[in-house]
Amino acid sequence: MLQEMEAALMTEDPRLVSALTGQAKPIGRNRVLMGLGLVVLGILVLFGGLIAKLTPVGVLGFIIALGGVITAISSIGRPSLPKSPRTSSLGARLEQRWDKRNNQ
């Protein structure tokens, strides 16, 4: 029954399965470069607004830089977990965790 549930979970939500198994999402290099470019552009616009003494331009530069940071960070993904030999399936690991909790 657990194997059927595991198979159904894999077909319905593969992202959840990859999150539970610890597989890291690949880095989107293009998005990271775009984010860094936006950060540099935002800082240039921010300093341009400071030099011209135009507050709205400085605020716009800050928003552009913030958007670049968010873009770059969101495309990196979470760090990969240490690789360990996993011979058991997801259902078996969940069952082992359940047994450990109940036996304590």
* Token pair of 64 as six digits: 């552009």
The model's confidence at residue 76, banded by pLDDT at 50, 70 and 90, is confident
pLDDT tens for 11-21 read: 777 777 766 66
Question: What is the rounded distance in angstroms from the CA atom of residue 58 to the CA atom of residue 74?
Answer: 24
pTM above 0.75, yes or no: no
Residue 47 near residue 21, CB atoms below 8 Å: no
pLDDT tens for 39-71 read: 999 999 999 999 999 999 999 999 999 999 999
The model's confidence at residue 80, banded by pLDDT at 50, 70 and 90, is very low
